[in-house]
Amino acid sequence: MQKRKLGSGGLEVSAIGLGCMGMSFGYGPAADTREMTALIRTAVERGVTFFDTAEVYGPYANELLVGEALAPFRGQVAIATKFGFQLKPDGTPGFIGLDSRPDHIKEVADASLQRLKLETIDLFYQHRVDPEVPIEDVAGAVKDLIQAGKVKHFGLSEAGVQTIRRAHAVQPVTALQSEYSLWTRTPEEEVIPALEELGIGFVPYSPLGKGFLTGKIVESTSFDSTDFRNVLPRFTPEARKANQAMVDLLTSIGKQKNATPAQIALAWLLAQKPWIVPIPGTTKLHRMEENLGAAAVELTGDDLSQIDSAAGEISVQGARYPEHIEKMTGL
């Protein structure tokens, strides 16, 4: 597995990471802990050195899983986790609201270190921008954690350009994590140029469109009642039918390259910038190995032009999130 550098602070990770959220949260019932532990450890054997989690995934269950699974590999892998939500006091899924007060950030860091069995968090992201707390105060709190040896690198998620600049001026931002894929290209307009200017890495989440770009989800696919895709406008049956055109494009390119639609979608992301590290998630070993195989798919300039031209003709139907969730993004 090739390596890539995020930011200018020396964080080097595998070109493709592993998003662990879906193992515990979001996509239906939590998967079997022993099976997911084995999957994470197999990922390490396959060369993955970058794992993504957050306290809100569960809550807490995903950090506990990742901490236990990666305990034998301390110092060999980088673990990213996140702060920024006020969780429900009874520990049930979901959250009450945003909370990036400096004292809360430091409390979350201490608790995450315990769950992850770490002395230092490799990459600590603000999960969503909190409009009630100046970003300078957030960056300052993480700077304190870095100076205390509890955190190595500072990250932001779904932040807009001005927020990124203000934070970066207080504590250098190593990486931005935002949704980016062939069907969510908003970051290309302002964010990616700013990241390049500032020397900040980019970690696309949902690089496979929450599973849609794999080609395995069709108009008639039904999800478990606890799967959050049930409430996403882009996943209504009508939107799925309309958005099949994007999958058809990836499938046709894949046939030319002897690759799957998912591999083309990931290879396209990797070809955009050398400091982009997607974090596809899965609970299936064969799907993880398929995703990692994308690193070996080479797309030429002509291939990329063909994809961009064809994708430009496709109008993606449906918003990413319901309006109340979309308001939490800074884009």
The half-sphere exposure of 80 on its side-chain side, counting CA atoms within 13 A, is 30
300 alpha-carbon distance from chain centroid: 26
Q: For the chain, first and last CA: distance in Å?
A: 32
Active site residue 180: no
**Nearest-angstrom CA–CA distance, 266 and 119:** 32
How far apart (Å, rounded) are the C-alpha atoms in residues 109 and 169? Answer: 22
Q: Which of 20, 36, 28 is nearest to 221 (CA)?
A: 28
Pick the catalytic residue from 27, 57, 60, 205.
57
* The dihedral sign for the CA sequence 226, 130, 19, 118: negative
CA dist., res. 125 & res. 142, Å (int): 9
C-alpha 281/C-alpha 20 separation (Å) is 6
Give the number of other CB atoms < 10 A from CB of residue 327. 11
Specify the pairing of strand 11-14 against strand 3-6.
antiparallel
Residue with tokens 């770009």: 213
Q: Are strands 78-83 and 121-126 parallel, antiparallel or unpaired?
A: parallel
At position 270, the amino acid (one-letter code) is: L
Which active-site residues does the annotation give?
57
